[in-house]
Structure 1
């Protein structure tokens, strides 16, 4: 199976903000769609291993910052390639909070949604949340960043040093290690579900 076929599906790229007790956190998700208009409801899918997923389950609320085309890879790396269990992602990072204290971004965002969870379903690697939109704001006139934009233009390409021996491949998202010099093109990370493009070589 060529997982790159899925890149042609229309996705956006979003920062999902959450708050539980006194802790705030956020992660990257690329799965959100409007599923009803009266009342306005959306569906999002979030990796179960993410701390933000646990926090949304506990609080029943979240914000969704819709990233625009001014977004940098560093911003996505900051929220998508490190865990809130290890670092405070909002320490010294400019942000605002809504009336519930849930964080959202101040820049590289074209729209903001504030939501309350109506239902959830465990899908194995991810949880699907159905949520009612309680408020929505347009924050800029910039075009939204699509997942295809991210894959084709924003995400750095993996380079392989042919002078060194590859002994394995590491998932840049969750850290899973595949042992072996050749990573199958259709390989999918068993922990986070990301494709072979999100692995980097380990040299021996």
Structure 2
């Protein structure tokens, strides 16, 4: 079975935000879709390891900011490569407004936001699917949305040779965020500590 077939699926990329106990947080997801038109509903799937996941479970509300081709890599680093349990992702960040639901949405490097009230949840194993009714949404710009392929080809920096690679060690490179695992083989159950993607999203770059 060729797991790289998953890379052929078309994904958008989004900043998912939530607010709980006075704390604002967000993470990067690629699993936001319109679930129904009457009533107008959206579904998202969120990794259970993400702090934003727990906030949505607690409050039943979230906002999705649709990332556009204007976005820089710093947006992905801020919201995708650190945990809200350990860092304030909005510290020193001013490119946001607060929606009617009290949740922040991103105003730079995005072209729309959609706010949702959760109606249903479904346990999917590593992820939880949240399905809800859209309560508010606005278009912010006409710049095209980022796809996962566009991010890989135009936004994410090309990997640089690491010290471990230069020493001739076997390095496994995360295709999503660039994290490197050093070892002859990567465990099948390994989860990237930065972006929470599984071992199947790592590629061997030195052998």
Q: TM-score, normalised by structure 1?
A: 0.85
Matched, 1:194 2:195: no
> Equivalent residue for 1:68?
68
The answer (yes or no) to whether the contact 1:125–1:193 under 8 Å persists in 2 is no
Q: What does the per-residue CA deviation read over 1:137-174, in whole Å, with 9 as the maximum and x for residues that have no partner?
A: 10000000011111222222334455313266476979
Alignment counterpart, residue 166 of structure 1, candidates 154, 166, 169: 169
Query: What is the Cα-based RMSD across aligned positions, in Å?
Result: 2.9
1:86 deviation in Å? 0.8
- C-alpha displacement at 1:78, in angstroms? 0.9
Q: Measure, in 2, the Cα distance between the counterparts of 1:200 and 1:23.
A: 38
Q: How many angstroms apart in 2 are the aligned matches of 1:76 and 1:122?
A: 26
Deviation at 1:122, TM superposition (A): 1.4
Q: How does 1:142-153 map to 2 (within 5 A)?
A: 142-153=143-154
Distance 2:157 2:62 in 1: 29
Unpaired runs of 5+ residues, structure 2, are none
- Provide the C-alpha distance between the structure 2 equivalents of 1:22 and 1:15, rounded to a whole number of angstroms: 19
The equivalent residue for 1:54 is 54
1:160·1:201 contact (CA, 8 Å) conserved in 2? no
Q: Conserved in 1, the CA contact under 8 Å of 2:16 and 2:65?
A: yes
SS across alignment from 2:142: coil
Point out where structure 1 has 5 or more consecutive residues left out of the alignment: none
Structure 1 pair 30–90 and aligned structure 2 pair: CA distance change class (3 A): same
TM-score of the two chains, using structure 2 as the length reference? 0.84
Over 3 Å counting, the alpha-carbon distance change for 1:51 and 1:152 in structure 2 is: same
Contact kept? 2:64, 2:114, Cα under 8 Å: yes
Displacement after TM superposition at 1:97 (Å): 1.2
Summarize the Cα distance change of 1:5–1:56 in structure 2 as closer, same or farther, 3 Å threshold: same
Distance 1:177 1:67, change over 3 A: closer
The whole-number CA distance in structure 1 between the counterparts of 2:24 and 2:32 is 21
Give the deviation of 1:73 after TM superposition. 1.4
- Quick one: distance in 2 between partners of 1:67 and 1:194? 23
In 1: Cα distance, 2:70 partner to 2:180 partner: 32
